[in-house]
Structure 1
Amino acid sequence: MPSSTGSVERLDANIPGAFPDGNSSRQSLQDVTSTHQTLSQSLYARRAEFTRPRSVRIKVGSWNVGAQKGTEKDIGEWFVEGKGIEASLGGLGIKDTGNDSKERVSEQEARRTKYASTVPTGDSASVPSNEEIGIYALGLQEVVDITSATEALRPYTDPAAANRYKEAIVKAMPDGYQLVAEQQLIGLLLLVYASPAVYPHVTAISTTSVGTGLMGYMGNKGATTARIILGETTRLVFINSHLAAGADKVSLERRNWDAGQIISRTRFDPITDAFGVTQAHGEGLGEEDFAFWFGDLNYRLEGMSGDDVRRLLTIHTKDFDLEPEDDVNAPSISSSRSDASKMSSTSSEAGAQFVPEPTELDPSSLQATLQSLLPHDELQQQQKARKAFQDGWTEGPIRFLPTYKFDIGKVGVFDSSEKRRCPSWCDRILYRTRTGKQRYDASMKELEEAKKKDEEMKAKGLDHAADDDEVLFDYDPETDGDTGDYDEYDETADPEPEAITTKEGFSDEILLEYYTSHMRVLSSDHKPLGAVFSLKFDAVIPELKAAIHKEVARELDRQENEGRPSITVVVDRSTGTAAPENNNTTDSDFDGVDFGDVQFAKSKRRNITIANTGRVPATFGFTDRPVGEGQPAGPYPSWLHVSFDRESYKPEKVQADKLAADNIQTSFVLEPAEVLNIELKMKIESIDLVRKLNDGVTNLEDILVMRVHDGRDHFLPLRGHWQQSVLARTIDKLVKIPEGGVRKLQHQKPSSEASVQSSAAPRELFRLTEAIESLNERTLAEWDMTGHETEKAPWRHNAGWPFVKDPRYFADGAHEDTLAHVYEALDCETPFEAAFDLESAPMQRLEILAEVLLVFLRSLEDGVVTEVMWRQLEEGLITREKSKQQLPADDERLFVLEIIAGAPSHNVCFVLITTMLQRIANDIANASKVEKKTPRSSIDLPASPQVSIRRRTLSKVTEVATRQLINRNYASIFTDAIFRAPNVDKMKEKDKTTRKERMIRILDLFLADPHEG
């Protein structure tokens, strides 16, 4: 068999649903095509049925803020609201709105300050803005001072600068816009936002950065990039870069090198498709459908005198009533003179009609000036020479003044410093389509083939075409393929949409609508640059795709070969397909297992039966199911346990190898007409999953894949209806839950703006602490009354009781249903007593509630003592440790409470918990007292299950030593429940131990008996 065929078979063997090769020597390639491969092909063939055309405007902005303070004040108005454009200086698509209320330049410059926006007052949007834009992509350069060695060599990125700009953007953004991608590299910051309508269609987000600065890899120069997939069909890439500066040849070559490094070293995360198949390697630049490269590319005007260029350009800034410096800018040229030059000499003749001369032909017009400068632009020169950005990158027509370098605080005054830099278009926005990249690759292939042909001809000695009838292909890399005209657009006409075919085979169109600078922004020596693109794409509609997917799967099922092993999956209808328990209707369309209402810690069981309905024995088992991005792989979701009513099949080695190729771990063999019963148990125990379910970012829906060896796959949908839980929330959200419990919010989430419904602490915490204290008193009293002469009380040998269970009295897992009822009482705000059996003892109830309390506290997102609070506490403790200063206990307690008091709800929770622990410790210590005449050596102190304590460090008084043990154990148990500390995973074990000791010491302060000492 040819090696190519063998390669296909090996690939197919690992695809879910593949038919094994029973006789590879006679089986055709079509016979070994997998079910999922066929499903994918069939689904792709019907893609027009589940995609719909969508349109979105993408606004790309670039600005070198020069590490200037106050630049964030301008971000919202120019980038989001589209202000700060001077229509008289042009730009693609810019029309003069005739806004008479717009602030004059002289007034604008006079009031300029770093504490407020420098955009002119009374300005209006000159380009699409606000809700008209679906995707905002902003690239900033020099958000920190990259000339500082401290910043350039900093081993981490300081987010403070980025936060200032993000806050300003969010304040200006319309409601509902979401930050979908963010990447910072020292001074480079890339931010991508999506509108509420676009955000649900954004997937496969990946960001990365490449440093090309000092030593070729430091982050003072380089790029930050982001990749997203739009509508499951269209790959978009955004590249924000800052290339090497300088006007000499060496700097130019370094800029080209920087761009090449960014292209070669950028790599995104692998993409996982709808069937759970993940790419072996992440994609690089060039594999996207649309790419946008923007930033301070630093390309200059080659061979131009700075003074000459400034004088030439200053002519056009006189429209602003500017007063430039005499030694820098040229004298004013009146607008009337300019207008007069546009008139034809024949226009004054009798009866002649005035025809204005085209702007491009007027030698005094801005466009004529720009056209005279652009041939000197290094970027266009390097593209034409195929040294940088030659592989399909294009740019809109430049109809605006150079964006660099201006005097800060001025609209149109170019660099008046001693350096008097030549104005240049350093800031650029380029874009590339998949078709543009393919065109370039094809042209390079043709040139390479022509060169190869030429070399072959020369090798045959055919130096002159005249000596032979054959044609000699001469190849000159400097001229071949060069049309002599770099620009692909007509400067006098608006660009047309470009149609492309995406990597997924869909048809898209893109159009550059606007490309201009924001001249009226004064806070940096660079002017911001903006471009608006209109993108038409085909978006997958998930509901339609699911329906077509189902139809295709059923059709493939009908086409299965009846001679192969066949099984039938029967769901117990009495429990399997009922609607949620709070719904009186029946969902008859759901063909799977429905667990109904699901709550935390409560098991829900359903049964299915597998029957062999074929004519041959069937070997089958569950295999890896299709999962989405970020979901754990494997045959079962984390919340499902599967048990069988018979032993697993243990095949011979040959058969075992075949099953392993099918990813079947646990296999069974059913003879014809034989059945197998399976129990599915759903139980939610993961706090992280509870948090996602509460927030609605995930749901209890999944699919089990049952693979039949040599047969087809069966897909069993699972679902459950999540009941809201008080677990995995913040304290601030809990105090806003209305009376009656969190279940009243089943179809909504507690709003951060809602009014506080309970007292300063969550009602759940009040109820738990109160119940635990009461049950502790009852337990101690009952034990004392009943005697228990032959038994030792649990608190006598366990200093962590009741928060550390004693298996001699209470076995873990023995009261699963009771625990679930307690959590339900907590969620529904019903009495705890109803959750317990009448015969359950107070001690058992106490231990259950103690467990629930710890789970509740550990699940809090922010903790009782938040990360911010802990940082302040730890700093104070470390300072005193270094100075060997030890405060009195009262002062230490006051220090802790002053920090926590900044958040009243947290403060009340902390006091409530520590007061409860102190009272319980007091009661247990008093219950553990012995007669004073009993010798110290004959008294057994309780074991310390949580912390290792040297006996000699304890008090010689038995009662005091017992209380010390209890306090230390309680403090150790509640550290992770109360405190939230940052960077725990990155800490060394020694540092973790030291930190925990500090937490224990703080809690120990509040648990100490106030009557001691």
Structure 2
Amino acid sequence: MATSNGQGPAANSSDAADTSTHTNTSTSTSTDAGTRTGTGTGTNTPLALADQASSYRVSSPTKEAWISHSLKKRRGEFVSQQQLRMFVGTWNVNGRGPATAAEMRAWLGFSSADADAPDLVVAGFQELDARAEAFVYNDAAKEQQWTEALVQALPGGYRKVAARQLIGMFIVVFVAERCYDSVGGVQTASVGCGIMGVVGNKGAVGVRLVYGDTPVCFVCAHLAHDAAQVERRNAQFHEVCRRLVFAPDDAGWPDPLAPRREPAGAVGVFDHAYVVWLGDLNYRVGQSEPSEPGGPGQADPGPSTYAELLALDQLRAAMGDRQAFAGFEEAAVRFAPTYKFVPGTARYDERRRPAWCDRVLWWAPSGGIGCDEYTAAASVLMSDHRPVRARLVADVWRVGRARRQAVYLDVLRELDRYENECIPTASLDADRVDFGRVVFGSRVARRLRLANTGQVPLEYGFVATPAYARGMPAWLRIAPGSGMLLPGEAAHLELSVLVDERSSAALTTLSEDLAAILVLHLTRGRDYFLQVAGCYEPSVFGCPLEILVHLRGPIRAMQRADFAACLASGQFSVPRCVWALTDFIARYGVERGCSCFERPPDRALMRVVREWLDEDQALDPAVLLQWRAEAEAEADADSHVARTVVEGRSPQLRLEPAMRRFSERTAVGSAIPMLANGGAASEALERMTLDTASYGSGSGSESESDAEPPTASVAAAAAAVGNGGSGSSSSSTVAVSALPHDIGIDTACGCLVDLFRSLPEPLVPFDMYAACVEAGGVSRAAALEALEILAPGRLNVLVYLLAFLRECVERGAVTRRRVARVFAQVILRPRDVEDAVVGEGAERFVEFLLIAQGQI
């Protein structure tokens, strides 16, 4: 037999290349008092074998399961198995002197003549030394006496390989001479968790050894006494499991099918193939002791009552509730309770309810342990406990490591061949999708066919790339973006482009192109690259306000360098597109007595208006307007106007005499130079007015007095509104909803609202949203004060817009409440929907800004 440093046995293997030495602690170490505090335990990571020639790393759980199953079928090629017969005994000796040879043999229960004599003898003792001074200094005398008693009782042919004492706890392991060369990797450890959680009057001592290539851990424990301390016993079990650790080594591994792992840290209790737990665990029957003494002595309750008593066994309850010893097993208990006896007699102490305090359990997650005998030595009377023994049989193995590695690599090659045959494949009917001309707010869709051309199910999805965290740009949607196809199936993917305020800024300023490369990934297959592209037409809709206030021409004619020069000019005014819309509404809507912002726009006409604004063209009233002589609407007006626009014809104007040309210098237009230099927010908002006298001061050949007035109904409504003083809806004699409307004016109003709604950042920036909404719930002064930090360019636009809207209210074209409801949603917007404030604060904020100085 090989030895390591002359200390004890060393494990050898069937493969010479794998021969390694492992130290064996054959002499005990004295009181460890729980000072060994190893951190963490090793893990048995399956299938992480690193071949020295080439590194194989298998990470997929499915692959690991397949390889493990393949190795299990071929385990006979590299694993040789045999059975290990073990005697495991526990005895609380109550501080008594060494037992006689006869008492020892009665406990052991076998002799040299037995054909099934155990290969390992594991004996655990508790209360070996009950003296008070044992807590202070280490005395190995008791250990030596009991070891000698065991040696005398054991038949010939056994050698001690490990021993460990901690105050009263003592574990010793003997191995049969015929098996001595099979044992290696021997280590011992101890942990105290008694007084103050560290003293060794309670705790455990443990031995780790490797039999063949099978690591086994033996734990001898003595847990808290007293029937009521169930929770403390449970806690001490978990404390021992956590703190009882051994030094890292490379001897044995728990699963013969798993690759040999490199030592990664301290070896814990459960880093073994088997754990055998023995000792005075002190679990009782019931939750308390009898309230009355049972007499001078109690007799054995008898086998007929064992089942009733075991139903109240605290250990079985803790195992069933998974409070302690979860996953452990125990053989059937068919012997009398082992505690508490009157020493030297067969009578139980009347002050204690009989209980099975002394137990032997085992943990074998993959099975492999059986029990031939589990009993107590009833004839051994020296202590208040009866010694307990278990005859266990465990399956142990030797692994031909070189052969195992060869089989493992062969299995990997087989898996690789299988995967190559079953790699999913697909076909796309195009690798490029062209969306053509794309404009703001209009959705363009294309379809792409994806087919499964392989022999296995196909899972697909668009994956993230460094350019796009979610796999595609914000302006692109793909439905479905992921899915599964069976062999022969196909799916039509719809790719759609929609440029909105979230994605328009970079596209409008030409800092980004409407183009991207997407990665379509097949699970366990290849990647397909898909190019998408389109031609985005820059638009004032979705354009940042910082650009709009500098534009001096059509946005469609701008180049990338022009945007930079535009921003560098330092000069800003009200955007031309805003002026064009408000001027049109003022000339042909407000002045003619039509309602504004009350009815939905015509979508076909809106596309026409957007084209005009993007090309910096004037709005053509001959195309947009459809004057009505009556207040009530006609049901087919929207479709009629849209049809005429598509056909390239101008709609018939009912009040053509009223369409005489207005002056180019209107009140709305004259507001631009007035506000161009900016100013303090409160001052600018207080002095905002429209030069109402300029309405009708035309520069054409006809004056306002020469123009034919509106029809009687329109004139009457306008007069009624004009008599309302301040122009608010509460003082008007005619409701705004009763005024006539024109689909062209409704469309221009809708475009104005959409223009501000489409700003990437609203007119009042996101960072000011909360303060402005809060001010809306306070007062007009608070609303004005909240705008003091508004940038000059934005302030100019806000003052201009509010001046126009106030004029609309005062002329009766719309109520102040309606303006607040419509524009509160576009002037003020939260950055995220979750940040939106519930209530009327935003609408009240806009209402306050519409109130002129001196009004209530």
TM normalised by structure 1 equals 0.32
TM normalised by structure 2 equals 0.37
Structure (1 or 2) with the larger CA radius of gyration: 2
